[in-house]
Structure 1
Amino acid sequence: MAAGPRERSGIWAEQRAQRLLQQAGWYPVARRWRCRWGELDLVLHKSPQRLLLVEVKGRRRCGRDGWGCAGLNRRKRARLEAALALWLAAHPVYGHCHVELVAALVPLPPARGPVRWMRWL
């Protein structure tokens, strides 16, 4: 089934974020991994024993949700943590890693500008 315009935009934003992280020494482990709790956009690994979970938000303009910030709430974090727990159960080799959770706010064309990174505590 062909991807629609919204899905293609999401894929583009994920690819942009992944390229930047790979340039910083991160290695992709999973992309668009789905389970009953939702989707993990990007999971990357970096030595020593670091795992990065990235929630990607692509927007063409800064709307009322502030480039996607409004979607980064407590409920979303709980769903991501539940999905990550299932992913780690399926990939126990990464169970010893320290996990960091970040959001990548990616401006989509025609918008310009850098990717904004937010760390979730």
Structure 2
Amino acid sequence: MGSSDSSELNSTRKRDRRLATAHSNSPQSPNSRDIGTLGENLVAEWLQQQGWEILHRQWHCRWGEIDIIALGRDEESEINRGNENSPFPIPHSQTLAFVEVKTRRPGNWDAGGMLAVSTTKQAKLWQTAEIFLSTRPDLANNSCRFDVALVRCEPSRQNTKQILPPLTAANSQYALAGNYLLTLQEYIRSAFSN
């Protein structure tokens, strides 16, 4: 291979890299972080529709980040409290949910994101939640749980240009964002504990 062939090959490689970079940053093709944020938007909106108050999004400290911190009534614990006329009534309190959102495209390797919530990840979330509670002692007496939301992201057949995902219908588990359809596949309450 001569020097002119080599320089032509190098310039072709550089051009291909520039095109690939330009394509990956285009609004039509959001990167993984953008896709994750879109999934978090869908879950936060869904939680609000369920009556939960979103206290924080992407709360972080030196130990890690919690995607969503929400405060609300936990219907399951209300049902499990038993009869309201019991001689030992339990005062109604709110539940603090620390939500880990995993947004995945079809054909992922980690069971829709569930395998990414390893014991190491759980320990980091637990530490981060403890630090959060130390900064908010007013919330420390609420019951707490760790939830996992699995969101599927796939190309949409609709040709929309909008990036922020408004829900397509009230109480829906779907949202359109750009050229993507996001679906809340599964919301796992109390997915893990210490």
Report deviation, 1:113. 4.1
- For residues 16 and 28 of structure 1, the distance between their equivalents in structure 2, rounded to whole angstroms, comes to 12
Report deviation, 1:112. 5.8
Question: Aligned ranges for residues 72-91 of structure 1 at < 5 Å?
Answer: 72-91=117-136
Identify if the C-alpha distance between structure 1 residues 9 and 70 changes in structure 2 by more than 3 Å, giving closer, same or farther: same
Identify if the C-alpha distance between structure 1 residues 107 and 90 changes in structure 2 by more than 3 Å, giving closer, same or farther: same
Aligned length in residues: 119
Identical pairs, percent: 30
- For residues 114 and 31 of structure 1, the distance between their equivalents in structure 2, rounded to whole angstroms, comes to 17
Given residue 187 of structure 2, which amino acid in structure 1 is its aligned partner? W
- RMSD, aligned α-carbons: 1.8
- For residues 31 and 112 of structure 1, the distance between their equivalents in structure 2, rounded to whole angstroms, comes to 18
Q: Report the counterpart of residue 37 of structure 2 in structure 1.
A: 11
Query: Please, which runs of 5 or more residues in structure 1 have no aligned partner?
Result: none
Choose the corresponding residue for 2:105, options 43, 52, 60: 60
- For residues 5 and 112 of structure 1, the distance between their equivalents in structure 2, rounded to whole angstroms, comes to 15
Given residue 34 of structure 2, which amino acid in structure 1 is its aligned partner? R
Normalising by structure 2, we get a TM-score of 0.57
Report deviation, 1:83. 0.2
Given residue 47 of structure 2, which amino acid in structure 1 is its aligned partner? L
Report deviation, 1:114. 3.6
Normalising by structure 1, we get a TM-score of 0.89
Report deviation, 1:19. 0.6
Q: List 4+ stretches of structure 1 deviating above 6 A.
A: none
Please identify which structure carries the higher strand content: 1
Q: Report the counterpart of residue 98 of structure 1 in structure 2.
A: 143
- For residues 82 and 112 of structure 1, the distance between their equivalents in structure 2, rounded to whole angstroms, comes to 30
Query: Please, which runs of 5 or more residues in structure 2 have no aligned partner?
Result: 1-24, 74-92, 156-180
1:5-58 CA-partner distances (Å, limit 9, x unpaired)? 222111110000011111000000011011111100000001432101100000
Q: Secondary structure of the residue that 2:154 maps to in structure 1? A: coil
Confirm or deny: 8 A CA contact 1:29 1:44 kept in the other structure: yes
Identify if the C-alpha distance between structure 1 residues 22 and 96 changes in structure 2 by more than 3 Å, giving closer, same or farther: same
Q: Secondary structure of the residue that 1:107 maps to in structure 2? A: strand
